[in-house]
A = this chain, B = another copy of it.
Amino acid sequence: MYTAGMSTPDRLIEATRELLWERGYVGMSPKAIQQHAGVGQGSMYHHFTGKPDLALTAIRRTADELREAADRVLDTPGSAYERISAYLLRERDVLRGCPVGRLTMDPDIIASDELREPVDETIAWLRGRLAGIVREGVDRGEFAPSLVPEEIAASVVATVQGGYVLARASGSTDAFDAGVRGLLSLLAPPA
């Protein structure tokens, strides 16, 4: 991670984001954060009250980035199918998993309403965003009127989140791609 030129708090936040992604909250120690950030113990506890404080700040930043990245592919012209397809096919670090979704499997995150909140909010936002696009597709006659936008949106997000699981289990990105293609083949408007 390139942290030169960053302020000490930023170096700590970036190190925490990396470690949360790589090892999760329970698998991440303050010492590891300090070492990755190249920052001493005293500095960390000067700028943050402790591990939960730093984690919350890091999670919020990651959540903001994820939203912006999703909006970049969703907020485009094109048919509903094209926009959903663009979301599903966007570049991802598949074997690392989702930096937000992975946190749902962390017991200490789930046990804390404060730490879970930005995770919940991000995924809820994404589901709503996709549901709106599906609804547009239905309204325009692009999708069958029987489709329930909120359900299709949940399927899309779940396919991505589950795709990470399949990929990490097998150690290959193939399973992720297969799941996405499967869903797209079901969603594809009749040619």
Chain A interface residues (CB < 8 Å from chain B): 22-24, 26-27, 97-98, 101-102, 104-108, 110, 116, 119-120, 123-124, 127, 146-148, 150-166, 168-171, 175-176, 178-183, 185-187
Contact = CB atoms under 8 A, between A and B. Distances in A.
A147 B181 CA distance: 10
Nearest to A144: B185
> DSSP class of A's interface residues: helix, strand, loop or mixed?
helix
Contacts of A24: 24, 26, 105-107
A166 B105 CA distance: 11
Contact of A165 (B104, B116, B151, B176): B104
Contact of A101 (B146, B153, B169): B169
B182 A148 contact: yes
A58 B164 CA distance: 23
Contact of A157 (B22, B104, B179): B179
Nearest to A122: B169
Contacts of A110: 168
A119 B176 CA distance: 16
A141 to B, nearest CB: 17
A119 B185 contact: no
B160 A104 contact: no
A175 B181 CA distance: 22
A142 B56 CA distance: 49
A82 B8 CA distance: 57
B154 A158 contact: no
26 contacts: A24-B106, A26-B27, A97-B104, A97-B105, A101-B169, A102-B105, A104-B165, A105-B105, A105-B106, A120-B170, A123-B170, A148-B178, A151-B181, A152-B185, A153-B182, A154-B178, A155-B178, A155-B180, A157-B162, A158-B160, A159-B159, A160-B162, A161-B166, A162-B162, A162-B165, A183-B183
